[in-house]
Amino acid sequence: MTLRTLDSLGSLTGKRVLVRCDLNVPLKDGVITDDGRVRASLATINALVTQGARVILLSHLGRPDGAPDPQYSLEPVALRLSELLGKPVAFAGDTVGVSARETVDSLADGDVALLENLRFNAAETSKNEDERASFAAQLAEFGDAFVSDGFGVVHRKQASVYELASALPSAAGLLIAAELDVLEKLTENPARPYTVVLGGSKVSDKLGVIGHLLPKVDTLLIGGGMLFTFLAAQGFRVGGSLLESDQIDTVKGYLAEAKERGIRIVLPTDVVVASKFGADAEHTITSAESIEETPFGQTGLGLDIGPETGAEFARIIAESKTVFWNGPMGVFELAPFAEGTRAVAEALTRVDGLGVVGGGDSAAAVRALGFSDDQFGHISTGGGASLEFLEGKRLPGLEVLGW
């Protein structure tokens, strides 16, 4: 099967095209703090506008629990879209109600509208297929065709992702096509050396990726909160650091498998240990094997990789031809514990090949630390979707598009 792309829909001039985007952006006091996902949606929107389609955008934002909640309104996103597109974006105050109908009916060729948060309707994320299908049918009444372009949700069976794609002639947008092109380069004959950098808080979130990628990579770099479970698996004490004791045996298995396959798993040699979780915490740098020997003893918290490790990770990354990175190296939101993540991000900008930032917290981190998107080979818009793809899982939002 081949993924259906925009060309498969034929001429869209004058057609009403529903587009499922992922406009789930962070907001603070009603202001977007990172518009990366909005900008990532522009290519498909502009392509449809150029064709003269009447574009109706759909998205979720946050977790409003199936009912309207003003703090999760998409109205700020409509305003930002208007700025980026250089033209008005009509905003409907509901999803399938009177406002949505009036907004859609008022569109002319080349116009763009955004409907209110899909998750204000509980049926969007319902476990009941009939409820999802009913909601999808209501949405489908607004359109002549459907374009799925929210890569960050294609691993979810949700009404606007799965059922809606069956209710109308459907295809993948340019963003999804671009994401898949990059992910296939990471899994099918990647240029070598191939390095994967994994961080984030929990090793359990990454076990499937580790297991699936171990036979494919040359080097695996481990940072973030998950590193302490790896250290514990090697017999080191980790103080009050994040530790998933129930995963230690699994990690031991991966360490043994990597050794057997001749694959390097590189763990930090030094870490930044703090007295508490906070930007004002006392902190010190210590070797990875002596975390409990700091002044903070058994309560010390490891909150970042150390400078020695950051330099070593950077060297390995810069010498690689293919790099995939998912998960910060430390608590980058707090300045004293951001340097490990900064070192990895900076090294990724120097990759002579394909350097991929794997979405989610990693994408947020590089932008928060002052890097621009064009410094990297690719910044994914879907952390969870990227990981599940790399785990070898089938993604329902792609399968329904013929993939």
Tens of pLDDT, residues 62-92: 999 999 999 999 999 999 999 999 999 999 9
Is residue 403 in a domain? Answer: no
- Say if residue 18 is in the same domain as residue 147: yes
Query: Residue 119 annotated as binding?
Result: yes
Query: Residue 362 annotated as binding?
Result: yes
Q: What is the CATH number of the domain that holds 43?
A: 3.40.50.1260
Residue 259 has pLDDT above 80, yes or no: yes
Query: Residue 245 annotated as binding?
Result: no
Confidence of residue 208 (pLDDT cuts 50, 70, 90): confident
Q: Is-catalytic flag, 358?
A: no
Q: Is-catalytic flag, 384?
A: yes
Q: Is-catalytic flag, 202?
A: yes
Catalytic residue among 39, 80, 202, 252: 202
Q: pTM value?
A: 0.89
pLDDT tens-digit profile of 15-66?
999 999 999 999 988 899 989 999 999 999 999 999 999 999 999 999 999 9
Question: What is the percentage of the chain residues whose pLDDT exceeds 90?
Answer: 87
pLDDT the model gives residue 361: 85
- Say if residue 123 is in the same domain as residue 230: no
pLDDT the model gives residue 365: 92
pLDDT the model gives residue 383: 80
Q: Is-catalytic flag, 16?
A: no
Catalytic residue among 36, 200, 358, 384: 384
pLDDT tens-digit profile of 289-324?
999 999 999 999 999 999 999 999 999 999 999 999
Give dist(CA 307, CA 313) in Å, integer: 10
Residue 1 has pLDDT above 70, yes or no: no
**Which residue in the block uniquely carries the two structure tokens 């990366």?**
36
pLDDT the model gives residue 232: 96
Interval 373-395 mean pLDDT? 89
- Say if residue 260 is in the same domain as residue 332: yes
Conformational region of residue 29, where left means phi above 0, alpha means psi within -120 to 50, and beta covers everything else: left
Catalytic residue among 173, 358, 360, 397: 360
Q: Determine the structural domain holding residue 40 and report its residue range.
A: 6-176
pLDDT the model gives residue 384: 85
Give whole-number Cα distances, 21 to 83, 251, 282, 284, in Å: 17, 36, 43, 44
Query: Residue 23 annotated as binding?
Result: yes
Residue 389 has pLDDT above 60, yes or no: yes
Interval 362-375 mean pLDDT? 92
Give me 149's structure tokens: 């372009």
- Say if residue 268 is in the same domain as residue 381: yes
Catalytic residue among 15, 37, 157, 342: 37
**What is the tally of structural domains in the chain?**
2
Query: Residue 24 annotated as binding?
Result: yes
Query: Residue 231 annotated as binding?
Result: no
